[in-house]
């Protein structure tokens, strides 16, 4: 389940929630895997050159969108469980 390392690093206080949700929800797991891949790609672009500022900003923006989706999914799950 290392495909969630980047998102857990980003939200360490939500690690247990993330791991539980990944274990039970394939769609959520896929979003986390997308986040992992985008984080790795951003890291590569940052390493290659700063001349790729447009591409770097695209990946940063994509990561922010994925973070929002992941947090929304976690909150929705918590709301359902709390009902």
Whether 5 is in a domain gets the answer no
Whether 65 is in a domain gets the answer yes
Whether 81 is in a domain gets the answer no
This prediction's pTM? 0.89
Whether 39 is in a domain gets the answer yes
Asked if 59 and 34 count as a contact pair (C-beta separation under 8 A), the reply is: no
Question: Across the 83 residues of the chain, what is the mean pLDDT of every consecutive 10-residue run?
Answer: 88 96 96 97 87 90 98 87 65
Number of domains forming the structure of the chain: 1
């Amino acid at each position: 389940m290392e495909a969630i390392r980047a998102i857990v690093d980003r939200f360490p206080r939500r690690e247990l929630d993330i791991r539980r949700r990944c274990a039970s929800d394939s769609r959520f797991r896929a979003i986390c895997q997308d986040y992992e891949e985008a984080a790795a790609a951003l890291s590569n672009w940052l390493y290659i050159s700063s001349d790729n500022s447009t591409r770097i900003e695209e990946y940063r923006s994509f990561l922010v969108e994925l973070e929002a989706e992941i947090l929304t999914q976690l909150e929705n799950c918590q709301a359902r469980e709390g009902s």
